[in-house]
Amino acid sequence: MLNATVAELSSALAARQVSSVELAQLFLERIDRLNGSLNAFITVDAERALEQARRADAQRAGNAVVGPLTGVPIAHKDIYCTKGMRTTCGSRMLENFVSPYDAHVIERLESAGTVTLGKTNMDEFAMGSSNETSYYGPVRNCWNRGCVPGGSSGGSAVAVAARMAPAATGTDTGGSIRQPAALTGTCGLKPTYGLVSRYGMIAFASSLDQGGPMARSAQDLALLLNAMAGFDRRDSTSVERAPEDYARMLDLSLDGLRIGVPEQFFGEGLDADVRARVEEALHWFLAQGARRVPLRLPNAELALPVYYVLAPAEASSNLSRYDGVRYGHRATEYEDLLDMYVRSRTEGFGEEVKRRILVGTYVLSHGYYDAYYLQAQKLRRLIAQDFVQAYRDCDVILGPTTPTTAFALGSKVDDPLQMYLNDIYTIPAPLAGLPALSIPCGFDAQGLPVGLQLTGNYFAEARLLGIAQRYQLATDWHLRVPREAPL
């Protein structure tokens, strides 16, 4: 059961082969056994999980209407506010923060009957690509404990990869779902901007932040997204659309599928093994009748600098709310009000968060706004237009998720630019607001997983998931069990 997908657990629960309480116990024991070394969870609440599991079992026994997720245990990135359960966002600032309300995503998944096992570790305020900026210590990659799992949703990725949870939630601003999915051999989907409500999801860069599912198969991503997506009036950028079944295209035909292959995604800096695995995947698709469409995304190479102006700008504004007054960390000793702000923020935030606040404040300040922030906004529009143009000629864009596989813990912490380069392929999609997913497509010479990224047009989630599912029916990369977390 530990190795089962969400779809399999759902069938087992429906057939009464297992109860939700038994499942919750199984995963809680696994967490207990592995979390000391992997550090994927910040908070685990066994009592709460078992209570939810008992309720799910009672619903089923009482023949109440149950859904495919009723009784399925999952984990949540610690960026989602959970009522009555601590939400730290990976920061000392929120070490003791207990939200008075649930995030929309939590509400939706819990009302779909899922059982919350706990809250997963993450880079502080979702700023990072390695999970090393977490105040609660780094997460370790279960394929090689000396390596990072990626970030910022590294805890969710390792929870899923190490079978501590069959699925988890994540958030993606510049790659935080897809990059850790790639580095841990799991699957992750960043939906179209606005599909999943940001209400109760702690803000980093609001025009980019988007919640999404992480799991071990494309089918499971679809099941989770079905519960997570939906209009919410409390998020002003939530899109109002008729509900759709994201699993409806899982048997999609690949014949005639036009696959865009942008040269910009295969340039300098791409590891040879990663390139080889991604090209093998492309050839598999071509063998199924798909067509290769060479593409140019002329402004894609500007995505990284644009992102690192816009995301810090928005972050500096969003993080101004942590002033020690209403909630969050407050220094115990201070002289006056200003000193209280300064000391609370100095103590509460880590180095990377401070770096972003400084950069963001700088690019927004008088005299620099036009040169940096405004310019970046204009380039963002050009990057988005490249995609609009590209989707006239292709149905999906294929490339690597990351330039390299998992790197050694500590190897990039002192070099922010090297760290930022990890997101070179994942940043364009959120800048354009497009959906994109990462699925495993093989291993490098060290046995570390490689991720394949598929980017779709707006609201093309069902199709993306269908394409990924077809690949997964023919390959078993997504089923491999990590070496350092055997069953």
Give the nearer residue to ligand GLN in terms of CB position, either 43 or 152: 152
Cross-strand pairs, 260: 293, 397
* Annotated catalytic residue 119: no
Contact stretch for ligand GLN (CB under 6 A) within 120-128, 258-266, 435-443, 479-487: 120-128
Instruction: Return the closest-CA partner of residue 395 out of 218, 290, 260.
Output: 260
**For residues 142 and 480, what is the distance between their CA atoms, to the nearest angstrom?**
12
373-377 long-range contacts, Cβ below 8 Å, gap at least 24? Answer: 373/309, 373/310, 373/313, 375/309, 376/305, 376/306, 376/309, 376/310, 376/313, 377/310
Residue with tokens 């340039």: 267
* Annotated catalytic residue 354: no
172 binds ligand GLN (CB under 6 A): yes
> Exactly one of 155, 423, 432, 467 binds ligand GLN (CB under 6 A); which one?
423
34 binds ligand GLN (CB under 6 A): no
196 binds ligand GLN (CB under 6 A): no
CB 172 within 8 A of CB 151: no
68 binds ligand GLN (CB under 6 A): no
438 binds ligand GLN (CB under 6 A): no
**For residues 475 and 319, what is the distance between their CA atoms, to the nearest angstrom?**
43
Indicate which residue of 19, 152, 238, 438 is catalytic: 152
> Exactly one of 39, 52, 116, 129 binds ligand GLN (CB under 6 A); which one?
129
Residues near ligand GLN (CB under 6 A), total: 13
Contact stretch for ligand GLN (CB under 6 A) within 61-69, 125-133, 366-374, 449-457: 125-133
Give the nearer residue to ligand GLN in terms of CB position, either 144 or 176: 176
131 binds ligand GLN (CB under 6 A): no
126 binds ligand GLN (CB under 6 A): yes
> Exactly one of 71, 90, 166, 174 binds ligand GLN (CB under 6 A); which one?
174
Instruction: Return the closest-CA partner of residue 153 out of 187, 130, 137.
Output: 130
Residue 218 token pair:
């494309």
Give the nearer residue to ligand GLN in terms of CB position, either 6 or 383: 383
Give the nearer residue to ligand GLN in terms of CB position, either 360 or 456: 360
Provide, rounded to whole angstroms, the least separation between the CB of residue 307 and ligand GLN.
Answer: 7
128 binds ligand GLN (CB under 6 A): yes
Residue 452 token pair:
């394949």
408: left (phi over 0), alpha (psi -120 to 50) or beta: beta
194 binds ligand GLN (CB under 6 A): no
Using CB under 6 A, which residues numbered 299 to 358 contact ligand GLN?
311
373 binds ligand GLN (CB under 6 A): no
Give the nearer residue to ligand GLN in terms of CB position, either 285 or 407: 407
* Annotated catalytic residue 156: no
56 binds ligand GLN (CB under 6 A): no
Secondary structure class of 255 (helix, strand, coil)? coil
Runs of H (alpha helix) within 204-299: 218-228, 272-287
Give the nearer residue to ligand GLN in terms of CB position, either 69 or 127: 127
Residue 431, CA distances (Å) to 46, 207, 269, 316, 428 in order: 38, 8, 21, 18, 5
Give the nearer residue to ligand GLN in terms of CB position, either 259 or 379: 379
132 binds ligand GLN (CB under 6 A): no
Residue 298 token pair:
């002329």
Burial class (CB in 10 A: 0-12, 13-18, 19+), 223: buried
**For residues 350 and 302, what is the distance between their CA atoms, to the nearest angstrom?**
28
Closest-approach residue to ligand GLN (CB): 176
102 binds ligand GLN (CB under 6 A): no
175 binds ligand GLN (CB under 6 A): yes
Residue 348, CA distances (Å) to 43, 323, 447, 454 in order: 19, 10, 38, 37
The residues near 20 (Cβ < 8 Å, ≥ 6 apart) are 13, 53, 54, 56, 57, 60, 70, 71, 72, 73, 115
**Active-site annotation, residues:** 77, 152, 176
Q: Which residues bind ligand GLN (CB under 6 A)?
A: 126-129, 152, 172-176, 204, 311, 423
